[in-house]
Amino acid sequence: MSRPPSAYFLGLRFDLETLEEAVSRIFAETREQFKYVVTPNVHHIVKLHSDAAALRSIFEGAWRTYCDSRVLRRLARLKQRRLVVITGSDLTKRLIERAEKQRLTIAIVGPTSADCATLAYRYPALNIAFYTPPMGFVLSELQVQKCVDFVVATQAALTFLAVGMPQQEMLARRIADHPRARGVGLCIGASIDFLTGKQRRAPVWLQKAGLEWLHRLLSDPKRLASRYLIECPKIFHLVFSKERLPVAPQPK
């Protein structure tokens, strides 16, 4: 299957296709060597530029990169770049719905047993294997290896990594380096929480207005104030500054 059209913005290549096309491409690869999907938003891009040495190769190593932010799409438009928005939450929901219809096994890294039990209740035909690493697991080689071993042993068609950015992307890269890992991994942040009802997504009209970030901020200001009010505004400097990460080709 040929690679979809793409566009470069702020040093990163974004794939341009519809949600349904993305789902079909992912399911076509679920029996192959492990590969991973990232869905960068404004926060991802800011982090990528602030720590390019650690993160650039991880994002460039992704099999597919979909824009998760309508704000990012609008900023790209100012620079005559066209991006297509496929949010990680929408992609996760569609993949899990289809996986349930096919009675597939999925692997989840991050959420608790209670969260996974709720997900199983809502999708009863879905086979769920899960592993919950301890907080700060990325600082321990032993804990990272336990996550990798879990994914390799499960051999799931889809693996959902929900341990926060950039930990989930770093873990995806490690899994992809394992010769026996199979399926497609998705770095999904809080997407499982939305499916279980643990968190609520913004109303559709707020999403379309590009204000989902505001809804999340107001829902959890103590945790998210620094991200949305201090870190994310740095995107404007990146967009309008002449300093850029050089672009590099992504794998086919």
49, 44, 31: which is closest to 72 by C-alpha?
44
Encoding tokens for residue 57?
Answer: 């190769």
**Order of strands, sheet of 158-161, starting from the edge strand that comes earlier in the sequence:** 64-65, 35-38, 184-187, 158-161, 105-109, 127-131
Q: Residue 200: which residues within 8 A CB-CB, separation 6 or more? A: 194, 219
CB 120 within 8 A of CB 112: no
- Please tell me what DSSP assigns to residue 188: -
| Per-residue pLDDT, 152 | 98
Reduced to 3 states (helix: H, G, I; strand: E, B; else coil), residue 121 is helix
200, 178, 181, 205: which is closest to 190 by C-alpha?
200
Beta strands in the chain (DSSP E): 6-9, 12-15, 35-38, 64-65, 105-109, 127-131, 158-161, 184-187
Distances in Å between the Cα of 47 and the Cα atoms of 40, 43, 75, 131, 232 are: 10, 6, 17, 26, 9
* Per-residue burial over 95-119, b = 16 or more CB atoms within 10 Å of its CB, e = otherwise: bbeebbeeebebbbbbbeeebbebb
| Per-residue pLDDT, 1 | 59
- Cα separation, 181 vs 176, in Å, equals 7
* Per-residue burial over 223-243, b = 16 or more CB atoms within 10 Å of its CB, e = otherwise: ebeebbeeebebbeebbeeee
Put simply, whether the predicted model's pTM sits higher than 0.95 gets the answer no
Encoding tokens for residue 214?
Answer: 């505001």
| Per-residue pLDDT, 248 | 54
Q: What pLDDT tens digit does each residue of the chain (252 aa) get? A: 577 899 999 989 999 999 999 999 999 999 999 999 999 999 999 999 999 989 999 999 999 999 999 999 999 999 999 999 999 999 999 999 999 999 999 999 999 999 999 999 999 999 999 999 999 999 999 999 999 999 999 999 999 999 999 999 999 999 999 999 999 999 999 899 999 998 887 788 888 888 888 878 888 888 889 988 999 999 999 998 855 555 555 445
Q: 23 — phi, psi (to 5°)?
A: -60, -45
- Cα separation, 81 vs 222, in Å, equals 34
